[in-house]
Chains A and B, each alone.
Chain A
């Protein structure tokens, strides 16, 4: 009859440590895998909270900023006198630089039919100053909105703009719902 090997205290502690370490490693691996596959989060601006303070233009680590103006066409009134396009006190409703609100002329005003005009954002020129968003919100339907473009954003652990945003408008949201837009259709939206 084989003699049963007795488990001494040292073996017990060693086995316990091995099991604990193994479980921990597997656990961390599982959690990390779950995080990376399921819970991808990205930074985004809530248009309802945004106050167009200008910090998206000045505080993003990217230059120019990864924040861009997007246009929700189904909210737009296609106005001739667009508060987001024309500078307050403009000389005339014409596309001359002196009449434009945007400091980089990033908005194209395109005639559709009398008296409707379409406003298209050139994101390469947009610096996210928020002037057009402010003007559109103050005098129009609020169809211009600032959003973080995820093809440009580095998705930093700590977003430099979120840290200084005075209205806490920037937070992490699920990557599968990466944009928060008032309207349904968005110009130049990512596919």
Chain B
């Protein structure tokens, strides 16, 4: 074969290779496509003005392999519950107490005298050494306990399964319950599309309950009468969106609310008592896309703790 023929052959081969590459580049393969003409885009709502972010993340505590569900902060220690455990860990990550639970603990509340753990259908009181003091079960099989709060000697239990707030004495005596209904249009009752139903008692001894289906925070008397509420539905940073937000709340010492949202835009924000957005603690970019709402708690110094279920860590946020 002459040199000329070899040259032509090489050129033909190069031409074929280039053609294959071009066809492959333009071809319709799974990962070889331009923009989706039907893209669902919420990027503009995820962007947060930096001047609104008043907090910075100062620490995080990895949780390892445990599956945590609930958290509380008490005297500088972190109390967490989850898949068959109750643990107390110091801020440096050292474990102080580990108690095995019969089922998954979903929420907990720590007081001077005891630790209260809410399982899906059971409430258990422990002393601070992990010994059981008392336990009881609500009356309905469809009970799904999601949050606990205390005012004086009354324990408030959020039951997402039955869309009600139960009231008990600390010895387990049932006092009553309410579903958030009233004569007025505002008091429709709790709308709970998924098991996210939080409540808190603030430093002014006011009981606030989230009505997630209405994107509302509602203030109730001890007897369960609606005293006031605010609501804010919006994709924008000022409001809440989705079926069940805010999924988690906590309160600062001045009565402002710390809210955490789940779904397409996981974010932590602070609202005044009357529902005005005050600042942002953590923007969506801090969290996994379409993630779970972090459980939020506040310590006596107004430092915010977020239990990030997706990243499996406790994240600490302090004011800048």
Contacts and interface: CB of A to CB of B under 8 A. Distances in A.
Q: Decide whether A and B assemble into one complex.
A: yes
Interface of A: 52-55, 57-59, 77-83, 88-90, 93, 101, 103, 114-116, 129-131, 134-135, 137-141, 163-166
B153 interface: no
Closest CB pairs A-B (n = 5) = A77-B193, A138-B264, A139-B242, A129-B38, A134-B40
B41 A88 contact: yes
A57 B31 contact: no
Contact of B42 (A115, A129, A138): A138
B29 A164 contact: yes
Q: Which of B28, B41, B243 has the most CB of A within 10 A?
A: B243
A141 B214 contact: no
Interface string B244-272: 10000000000000000001100000000
Question: What's the dominant secondary structure at chain A's contact region?
Answer: loop
Contacts of A55: 33
Contacts of B185: 114
Given A79-B243, A139-B242, A164-B30, A57 B41 contact: no
B40 A135 contact: yes
Nearest to A138: B264
Given A59-B28, A77-B213, A52 B40 contact: yes
Given A54-B39, A129-B38, A81 B215 contact: yes
Contacts of B41: 88
22 contacts: A52-B38, A53-B33, A54-B37, A54-B39, A57-B37, A77-B193, A77-B243, A78-B193, A79-B243, A81-B243, A83-B243, A88-B40, A88-B41, A88-B235, A89-B236, A114-B188, A131-B40, A139-B242, A139-B264, A140-B242, A141-B193, A163-B30
A140 B193 contact: yes
Question: What's the dominant secondary structure at chain B's contact region?
Answer: loop
Nearest to B29: A164
B158 interface: no
B25 interface: no
A159 B275 CA distance: 52
Given A54-B39, A79-B193, A115-B213, A138 B29 contact: no
Contact of A165 (B30, B45, B263, B264): B30
Interface residues on B, range: 20 to 34
A139 B267 CA distance: 13
Given A89-B235, A131-B40, A141 B213 contact: no
Interface of B: 28-31, 33, 36-42, 44-45, 185, 188, 191, 193-194, 213-215, 233, 235-236, 241-244, 263-264, 290
A103 B37 CA distance: 11
A88 B263 CA distance: 13
Nearest to B240: A81
A130 B188 contact: no
A138 B241 CA distance: 10
A81 B231 CA distance: 13
Contacts of A93: 233
Contact of A139 (B29, B30, B44, B241): B241
Nearest to B262: A139
Given A134-B40, A138-B42, A165-B30, 11 more contacts: A77-B193, A79-B193, A83-B241, A83-B242, A83-B263, A88-B44, A89-B235, A130-B38, A138-B264, A139-B243, A164-B33
Contacts of A166: 30-31, 33
Contacts of B242: 81, 83, 138-140
Contacts of A163: 30
Contacts of B188: 114-115
A134 B44 CA distance: 17
A37 to B, nearest CB: 34
Contacts of A131: 38, 40
Contact of A57 (B38, B193, B236): B38
Contacts of B290: 137-138
A81 B36 contact: no
A134 B236 CA distance: 18
Contacts of A77: 193-194, 213, 243-244
